[in-house]
Amino acid sequence: MNLHDDAFLDEIACLALGVLPEAEAQTAALHVGSCESCRALYAELRPAADLIGYAAQEPLGSDEVGAARRKRRIMASVRAPLHAPQAAAARRRAYLPWAATAAAILIAAGFGIQNANLRNDYDRAARVAQQSSAQRTDFERNVLGLLGPHAKRYAIHNGVVIAHDGRLYVALHQLPPPPDGKVYQTWTLANGKKTMTPGGTFVPNRDGIAFIELAVSAYDVAAVAVSVEPAGGSRAPTSKPTFVRKLT
């Protein structure tokens, strides 16, 4: 394998995400330590991948078989949109970091929810343990759907807007907490309309992560925005949006 072909770039991404089997991880890490360009790529991917570390009680790569399977599934979903003939290597390199970011955000958010349930339900730990494998499988399937070729993704600062199967999601990380008495609020612009419709309010978790499913049909929305509003939300934005993302 050429150490700088697309396949090895995938290895660096998987190393940053923590899903490489141990032997492959050691080989990739040795190369990263001696290659300036690969160190730069790893440094670009690692902050997003760190989101996994705090959320998961077990390292994602602790099970060699599971790690290999996760690697195949994640990288298959990341590669899928690039199978068209016009997808050049430069386009892949531009796509890979934010695809990995989206994966890290979604995986971290999911494990965070699951771990909170485990921590708060000691009395039913055995039953939760029996269910956890199925829960992880369902969540993993959802993650791969959102990252797969049939989902539309729109990059935003520190996150991504995702449209999939008629549903619309916003995934954010490194989001600062709103000021006291304030919340974040989502807004959508319907096709053919000129006025934003208010959506739900939210605050990021203590690690700056927020994953929101919007209560609208993705097929009917021309743009998505988020702003800081008074607790309880507003009928119209009262502050400059943190982002406005057109979907058409």
| Domain boundaries along the sequence of the chain | 6-150, 156-246
Residue 212, number of CB atoms within 10 A of its CB: 19
Per-residue pLDDT tens listing for the chain (248 residues): 445 655 666 677 777 766 677 778 788 888 887 888 888 777 766 655 554 444 343 434 445 555 555 555 555 544 444 344 444 444 444 444 555 555 566 655 554 444 444 344 434 444 544 555 555 556 556 666 676 678 888 988 888 898 989 999 998 888 999 999 999 999 999 999 999 999 999 998 887 888 888 999 999 999 999 999 999 999 999 999 999 999 98
Q: Which two tokens stand for residue 204?
A: 């990021």
Per DSSP (E only), the strands in the chain are 152-156, 159-164, 167-172, 182-190, 197-202, 210-214, 221-230, 243-246
Q: Which fold has domain 156-246?
A: Immunoglobulin-like (2.60.40)
- Burial (CB < 10 A; 0-12, 13-18, 19+), residue 226, is buried
pTM for this predicted structure: 0.58
**To which residue do tokens 């990341």 refer?**
78
